Structure 1
Amino acid sequence: MSFPQTGVADENATTAPGLVYHLGRAVLMPVVRLVYRPRVLGRSNVPKSGRVILASNHLSFIDSIAIPVVAPRRVQFLAKSSYFDGTGAKGWLSRTFFTSIGAVAVERGAGAAATEALEAGKGILENESAFAIYPEGTRSLDGRLYKGRTGVAWLALSTGAPVVPVGLIGTDELMPVGSTVPKLKRVTVIFGEPLDLSSHGPATSGKARRHATDEIMAAIHALTGQERADAYNEAPPADTMEKIKRAVLRPERV
């Protein structure tokens, strides 16, 4: 997932899009298409209505802008609350921009924060909306496709939402990690065929969640052709105790 450190979502997570969203889309989409000319394939694979999960690989900060801009319908995703609570002109610009692309504010937290973020995503889906998520959990710094965390499968199996795999190609060149201004690079966004994961079993089954997640990651790989990494994308353990926890306890990644 892309939000392992997030908390409870903003109360506006499931409300209808407002004027800022519609104006932002009306202005942003033509500009992006004119300047960056993204290649978009498979838009018809995204259901025009009803709940759906867009599960994507994650290469750059710009991914969370690319998907909502080119998708054929409103897409919501979770973003840290600091993008929304700034002051002055800079704070207003940030808040307006992220609202315009369908972002929902979440507060940073620890402990049960990942579970709370999943519940926020579930609420968005139960409002018959489209919800975007990165199963890898964070951006890939080496371009490889990492093992998916099972939160995406929990969302799909607990809500019955189909999963549309999304392949992003070139966004790491458009806006490399650490950069603040996008380059003039053309990117490709591919929407794959929807996946019905119900055959794997209930959301309460760890085995069902793992197998469903693996199917999603295989579908993403088929779109991007990235080299696969048989590991989770996470920071190295900070100390010996963390190494022991990962090696012995091996908690299920959400």
Structure 2
Amino acid sequence: MFYWLLRHWVVGPFMNRVFRPWVVGLDNIPEHGGAIIAGNHLSVIDSFLMPLTIDRRVYYLAKSDYFTGKGLKGRLVRWFFLGVGQLPMDRSGGAASSQSLSAALDKLAEGQLIGIYPEGTRSPDGKLYRGRTGVARMVLDARVPVVPCVMVDTEKIMPIGRRIPRVGRIGIRFGEPLDFSRYYNLEGDRFVLRSITDEIMVAINRLSDQEYVDVYASSVKSRVEAERRALAAGRDGR
């Protein structure tokens, strides 16, 4: 109930008026049953804008930090993220991460839509980076189709580091669903996992105007951060 109030009476009207999204390929979203919507990730607002264009509810895996804040602000943030369909994702690895993924698999088993970013993090520079195989594991465990999705110009509206989005128009493209049933029962084959992931990234890349780089976005971010720290240390040493 709370989700529909937010969508139809609060967040939805505001987002549509401010960002005036244009949408292509909406008929590629299944009307019923579970499916994964795998997209590029340019801005923190991607997870809020894309679901507004679909009649069905979309659940996203969001980093667990959004759900563990202290005080009134922390409670409000947690309340909002849960209200708009975000599921906490523990990125520490091991059992904690597996439990987070189980929540998403439960939603897929219920016939819901799950949104995921195969790159694992926002693009640091607008390019499309190598996908992580967690999406392939989810595909094989849930046995659902994958709908590739591309957000357009959201990084211009709210780039990394900006707290308040600019007014401007964004776009969303949905591609034809991808069927990976030929790989069922091959969950333990790492080459299969990489093949599925790469096929998803190729489909995303074909929908977008982004340059593809076959490295992980997190590696690029780590390198940039290391260079920034080295530069800052050099300045401090002078």
With the shorter chain as reference, the TM-score category is 0.7 to 0.9
Encode CA deviations 1:47-81: one digit per residue, 9 max, x unaligned: 12211000000111111111222223100012234
Query: Structure 1 residue 191 and structure 2 residue 174: aligned?
Result: yes
Partner of 1:212: 196
Q: Which runs of 5+ in 2 are unaligned?
A: 227-238
- Using the TM superposition, give the Cα deviation of residue 92 of structure 1 relative to its aligned residue in structure 2, in angstroms: 4.6
Which region of structure 1 is more displaced relative to structure 2, 57-66 or 94-103?
A: 94-103
Residue-by-residue CA offset, 1:184-203 (whole Å, 9 max, x unaligned) = 12111111110001224522
Instruction: Supply the distance in 1 between the matched residues of 2:15 and 2:62 (Cα, whole angstroms).
Output: 21
Counterpart check, 1:100 vs 2:83: yes
Aligned counterparts of 2:108 and 2:161: Cα–Cα separation in 1: 32
Match of 1:181 among 144, 155, 164: 164
Opposite residue 143 of structure 2, the aligned amino acid is: G
Aligned match for 1:159, one of 142, 145, 156: 142
Report the TM-score, using the length of structure 2 for normalisation.
Answer: 0.85
CA contact (8 A) 1:43 1:191 kept: yes
Q: Which residue of 1 aligns with 2:2?
A: 20
Output the aligned Cα RMSD. Answer: 2.1
User: Which position in structure 2 is the counterpart of 1:52?
Assistant: 35
Query: What amino acid is aligned across from residue 212 of structure 1 in structure 2?
Result: I
Deviations 1:131-171 (A, max 9, x none): 01100011111111111111111111221110000011101
**Aligned mates of 2:203, 2:129 — CA distance in 1:** 13
Greater helix share, structure number: 2
Instruction: Find the aligned partners of 1:224 and 1:92 in 2 and give their Cα distance.
Output: 37
| Residue equivalent to 2:110 | 127
Instruction: Report the AA paired with residue 23 of structure 1.
Output: L
Q: Is the 8 A contact 1:24 1:97 kept in 2?
A: no
Q: Output the CA distance in 1 between the equivalents of 2:204 and 2:58.
A: 18
Aligned counterpart, 1:78: 61
Amino acid at match of 2:2: V
Distance change (3 Å), C-alpha of 1:104 and 1:162: same
2:159 partner SS: coil
What corresponds to 1:4 in structure 2? Answer: none
1:227 to 2:214 alignment: no
Residue deviations 1:203-249 (CA, integer Å, cap 9, x gap): 2221111111111000000111210101112244799xxxxxxxxxx
CA distance in 1, matches of 2:134, 2:69: 30
Q: Judge conservation of contact 1:144–1:227 (CA < 8 Å) in 2.
A: yes
Task: Check conservation: 1:135, 1:151, Cα contact below 8 A.
Answer: yes
Counterpart code for 2:194: R
Which letter does structure 1 place at the counterpart of 2:54? A
CA gap 1:230/1:107 in 2 versus in 1, 3 angstroms: closer
